[in-house]
Amino acid sequence: MVNTTRRQFLASSAGVAALGLSGQFAVFTSAQAAELREKGHYSYKVGDIEVISIYDGIWQNKGFGNFVVDVSEEQVKNALNDAGLGTEYIPIEFAFTVVKTGGKTILLDAGTGGQLAPTAGLAARGGLEAAGITPDMVDTIMISHMHPDHIFGLMEKDTNAQIFPNAELMVSETEYNFWTDPGIIAKLPESRQGLAKRIQATFPVWDNVSQFSGEKELAPGITAMASPGHSPGHTSFHLNSGDEEVLLIGDAMLLPALFLTNLDWQLAFDADKDQATATRQAIVERAVADNVTIGGYHFGFPNVGTIEKDGSGHAFVPVKV
């Protein structure tokens, strides 16, 4: 097994071309996926760390023509069809994570809060409590980035009151500074200005927000790892206990059916598309080389598995449940 360090795999995508990025892509789905969605959560262990994936629903995105840069609607639909996902819409599922480690209950992101798509927000409507987690139990929330589907679950829709007022909110310094800069609003597309205004009305006045920078262990067995591109300070979280590890990459890759199939495709709403592409390719390089279990916020349920070579391409293989 190749010894690629975490820093190396995030800092450089050198050698990715040698992986073989063209050719037919096989998609493996879990027979239990529908059952897990209905249940609303999926539990597993990483050594001594208890992990619970929380299903927060789906965004049935029909914007085929403006989802991937310079890629036609037909190409997107063909990729979805090849993956067995149909062509009615792009299925953007949401799943955040609960981690129990060091005597603390920690959330990695907080979901949509029922404030985006009508078919999302299941965690806010009882899904989190169905997994045995109530807001008062949460000690810490580590935020991968400050997009609405990751942070709106922190705040009430109308009042912005905190859902988890007793929890420490941790976000990368780069991400925090970008979104709380008063001058950023005028520079953003109109579609993003409302998000920046809401962030600036909440995070700077909340007294439970802290920032981190660089590669840092934030809690026993949880290390923050910079994975920029999707947003300026996007962070992945590496879970490690004993000889077991899982890398939770947030939005560094969205649907494997689209972006693992085509590692050079670029998501339309990545902040820095070239950096996001390099980050995604480097993640795939390390995941394949070291056979690292990987999880994605939008991978569908179960949202963890492995990336394996499939001829000249790659396949995401969900864990067996």
| pLDDT of the residue at 7 | 37
CA distances for 12 relative to 91, 157, 162, 237, 304, angstroms: 30, 40, 38, 18, 24
pLDDT, one tens digit per residue, over 140-182 is 999 999 999 999 999 999 999 999 999 999 999 999 999 999 9
The share of the chain scoring above pLDDT 70, in percent, equals 90
With respect to residue 54, please indicate whether it lies within any of the assigned structural domains.
yes
| Structural domain range at position 61 | 31-252+291-307
- 163 occurs within a structural domain: yes
Look at residue 145 in the predicted model and tell me its pLDDT.
98
**pLDDT digits 0-9 by tens, 187-230:** 999 989 999 999 999 999 999 999 999 999 999 999 999 999 99
Which pLDDT value is given to residue 312? 72
Of the ranges 3-7, 31-35, 62-66, which is most confident?
Answer: 62-66
CA–CA separation, 208 and 165 (whole Å): 8
Asked if residue 2 is part of any domain, the answer here is no
**What is the model's pTM?**
0.90
* DSSP-derived pairing of the beta strands 313-318 and 216-219: unpaired
* Residue 233, helix vs strand vs coil: coil
Would you say residue 128 lies in a domain? yes
What is the widest separation between alpha-carbon atoms in the chain? 52
- Look at 100 and 320; give whichever has higher pLDDT: 100
Query: What total number of domains does the chain contain?
Result: 1
Residue 317 pLDDT class (50, 70, 90 cuts): confident
* Whole-number average pLDDT of the chain: 89
Of the candidates 20, 34, 12, 110, the one whose C-alpha atom is nearest the C-alpha of residue 301 is 34
Pairing mode, strands 140-142 and 168-172: parallel
Q: Is the pLDDT of residue 46 over 50?
A: yes
Could you tell me which residues come within 8 angstroms of residue 229 by beta carbon, excluding any fewer than 6 positions away?
252, 270, 271, 272, 273, 274, 275, 276, 277, 278, 279, 280
Residue 312 lies in a domain: no
Q: Is the pLDDT of residue 31 over 70?
A: no
Whole-number Å distance between alpha carbons of 36 and 151: 23
Q: What is the pLDDT of residue 3?
A: 32
The 3-state DSSP class for residue 132 equals coil
Q: In sequence order, what are the residues at sequence separation of 6 or more whose Cβ sits closer than 8 angstroms to the Cβ of residue 57?
A: 93, 94, 112, 117, 119, 120, 121, 122
CATH number of the domain where residue 72 is located: 3.60.15.10
- For residue 5, tell me if it sits in a domain: no
> Looking at the domain assignment, is residue 267 inside a domain?
no
| 250 φ/ψ angles, rounded to the nearest 5 degrees | 60, -120
User: How sure is the predictor about 318, in pLDDT bands with cuts at 50, 70 and 90?
Assistant: confident
Is 80 exceeded by the pLDDT of residue 13?
no
Is 189 domain-assigned? yes
Please give the pLDDT value at position 311: 75
pLDDT at position 26 is 32
CA angle 232, 237, 238 (to 5 degrees): 140
Among 99-103, 161-165, 305-309, the least confident range = 305-309
